[in-house]
Amino acid sequence: MADAAAMPAAQASQPAEAASEARSGTEPRKRINSPQDLQIFLSSRLCQQLMSFVGELSEAVKGKEIDLDRLDKASPLIRNLVALLHKLDAWITEFPPLAQPMRFGNKAFRTWHERLVEQAEDLLTEAFKDVSSDGNTEGLAAELAFYLRGSFGDERRLDYGTGHEAAFMSLLFALGARGVLAKADAADSVLLVFSTYIKIMRRLQTEYVLEPAGSHGVWGLDDFHALPFLLGAAQLTGLEDDVPTGEVYKERYIKDYAAKFLYVDAINQVLLSKQGAPFHETSPMLYDITAVPTWQKTHTGLVKMYRAEVMGKFPVIQHFLFGQTLKWPGDEEGQGAAPAEVPSRAMPPPTMLPTKVPKATGGYAA
């Protein structure tokens, strides 16, 4: 009788197992295994698209402040993604740091991350529930769950770095490529979604004392992040009278603008983490950047730095994942491509690597 009762359950599990097996062949996976692979990636159309996507987001936030009132007018997708991130934030409270004699890496982070791994696909499925798209959002949730899991640090090494940050940007990129993220969502993707992601990462780094992955120490922008500086400089473009480039690290600007601009907030985080010595000694690279006269020139330089120091560095980008949406060069044909026609409301990635920030009317695929 016990065996007979178990049969329906076993039979019911077969379709799920079959679906899992079918999906395993197309799961995103690591493809950069050597310096030669890295060069293939850097020369690829995908790398150009990723950089152009960052340029499009930068253009969308020029002169715009972070304002949580935007959330009320945001699209269902944006609101759902912010809600997803708030759930992850609440989990930190559920898993307080353990008492342990370690300078870096509290092991409670592994419990937090384990839940993320378990629930990532369901969280994304929930986030996509109100999205009107011609794409397969259920399949997309399964694919992008890998990028979500990789966006919050490494649970084995108990560290976090710009490679993990790039995984989160890749998730946004994929939503645009698959016609889920709308053109009208570009600014909110940064000012609401990405800014919330950064707040959660700051908390994870603090609560679980995550170790910087591949930090350059005083000769880097920041121990953990790059994109808040890049996108934050874009935000400040044209606002030199309000926030001068040469004084951004001074207390009055930190006090008035850290909550409104990603760059000022990032400077504030550096100042908080490296107290006890002058800014020019603890952060010489950031201090040197203050000599650049405009935020536009600062942004242009940071874009070049991002491509060279994040996308172009093997230790950083070697764990980048490639799959059906973010295709490894050479896999473009016959590998489960995204729909040929993307809805006109969508924000597909541009196809050209910009040498400067794209104009407001350009850069989007037709």
DSSP E strands: which ranges in 157-214?
159-160, 211-212
Distance separating the N- and C-terminal Cα atoms of the chain: 62
Q: What pLDDT score does 135 carry?
A: 54
99 φ, ψ to 5°?
Answer: -75, 110
Q: What pLDDT score does 317 carry?
A: 95
Instruction: Report d(CA 137, CA 164) in Å as an integer.
Output: 23
Burial of 359 by CB count in 10 Å (0-12 exposed, 13-18 middle, 19+ buried)?
exposed
Q: What pLDDT score does 134 carry?
A: 56
Cβ atoms of residues 124 and 81 within 8 Å: no
Q: What pLDDT score does 104 carry?
A: 84
Domain boundaries, the chain: 31-322
Instruction: Report d(CA 81, CA 45) in Å as an integer.
Output: 28
Tokens of 321: 């994942």
Q: What pLDDT score does 9 carry?
A: 34
Q: What pLDDT score does 131 carry?
A: 83
**pLDDT-based confidence at residue 358 (cuts at 50, 70, 90):** very low
The predicted-structure confidence for 186-245, as pLDDT tens digits, reads as follows 999 999 999 999 999 999 999 999 999 876 554 578 889 999 999 999 999 999 999 999
Superfamily classification of domain 31-322: Phosphotyrosyl phosphate activator, C-terminal lid domain (1.20.120.1150)
Q: Which residue has the tokens 């409104």?
A: 260
Instruction: Determine how many CB atoms are found less than 10 A away from the CB of residue 300.
Output: 20
Question: Strand, coil or helix: what is 322?
Answer: strand
Instruction: Determine how many CB atoms are found less than 10 A away from the CB of residue 295.
Output: 25
Instruction: Determine how many CB atoms are found less than 10 A away from the CB of residue 26.
Output: 14
Amino acid letter at 138? E
Which 3-state string (H, E, C) describes 44-90? CHHHHHHHHHHHHHHHHCCCCCCCHHHHHHCCHHHHHHHHHHHHHHH
Percent of the chain with pLDDT over 90: 73
DSSP 3-state helix, strand, coil percentages of the chain (rounded to 5)?
60, 5, 40
Query: Mean pLDDT, to the nearest integer, of 313-323?
Result: 95
User: How far apart, in Å, are the Cα atoms of 334 and each of 30, 123, 339?
Assistant: 19, 29, 12
The predicted-structure confidence for 276-290, as pLDDT tens digits, reads as follows 889 999 899 999 999
Cβ atoms of residues 243 and 236 within 8 Å: yes
Amino acid letter at 229? F
pLDDT higher than threshold 80 for residue 313: yes
| Average per-residue pLDDT for the chain | 84
Instruction: Report d(CA 139, CA 337) in Å as an integer.
Output: 12
Amino acid letter at 332? E
Q: What's the CA dihedral at 253, 279, 283, 248 to 10 degrees?
A: 20
Instruction: Report d(CA 13, CA 123) in Å as an integer.
Output: 22
Cβ atoms of residues 76 and 181 within 8 Å: no
pLDDT higher than threshold 50 for residue 350: no
Q: What's the CA dihedral at 262, 229, 165, 39 to 10 degrees?
A: 160
Cβ atoms of residues 266 and 259 within 8 Å: no
- Centroid of chain to Cα 285: 23
